[in-house]
């Protein structure tokens, strides 16, 4: 899979792990940074990930900030993007099975690396169930004003 990555300074320590896990799993990465601990605006990186996935230039995305909230608000402004803020593996699995989520958001100040690794595994190894869920997922964008 081709996966777009974006984080702010608060998300960087966890993103370093995510980059390793996804590379080791054989994924191709489009890494928008940030790459230093200098304070930056999470929006600048989340927008790039959302635009890349929405354009079809990446299959999925991962966005990380301190809480995961700011990056998830940002990516979910885009049609075709379903950003899932996950704090456990149940959410990650259900975000894929029922919502066909295409961007994973996490909070580096909320969860540890061990939980994050399980979330990443669940998110990238769980298939969408389709069926009635496809109709509902389509309505997210169709019924949006």
Residues within the interface to ligand RB5 (CB under 6 A): 8, 10, 42, 65-67, 69-70
CB of 110 to ligand RB5, least distance (A): 9
Question: Strand 60-65 relative to strand 2-7: parallel, antiparallel, unpaired?
Answer: parallel
72/100 with CB nearer ligand RB5: 72
Shortest distance, position 90 Cβ to ligand RB5, whole Å: 22
Cis omega (within 30 of 0) on the bond before 32? no
Phi, psi of 79 (to 5 degrees): -65, 140
What does the alpha-carbon distance between residue 54 and residue 45 come to, in Å, rounded to a whole number?
14
The Cβ of residue 108 has, within 10 Å, a number of other Cβ atoms equal to 25
Residues belonging to the active site: 65, 98
**Between 108 and 120, CB nearer to ligand RB5:** 108
Nearer to ligand RB5, 2 or 19 (CB): 19
């Amino acid at each position: 899979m081709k996966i777009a990555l974006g984080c702010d300074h608060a998300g960087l320590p966890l993103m370093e792990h995510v980059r390793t896990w996804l590379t080791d799993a054989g994924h191709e990465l489009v890494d928008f940074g940030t790459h230093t601990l200098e304070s930056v605006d999470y929006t600048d990186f989340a927008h790039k990930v959302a635009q890349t996935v929405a354009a079809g230039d990446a299959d999925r995305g991962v966005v990380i900030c301190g809480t995961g909230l700011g990056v998830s608000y940002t990516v979910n402004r885009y049609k075709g993007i379903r950003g899932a803020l996950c704090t456990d593996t149940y959410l990650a699995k259900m975000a894929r099975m029922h919502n066909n989520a295409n961007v994973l958001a996490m909070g580096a100040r909320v969860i540890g690396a061990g939980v994050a690794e399980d979330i990443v595994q669940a998110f990238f190894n769980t298939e969408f169930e389709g069926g009635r869920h496809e109709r509902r997922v389509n309505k997210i964008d169709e019924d949006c004003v």
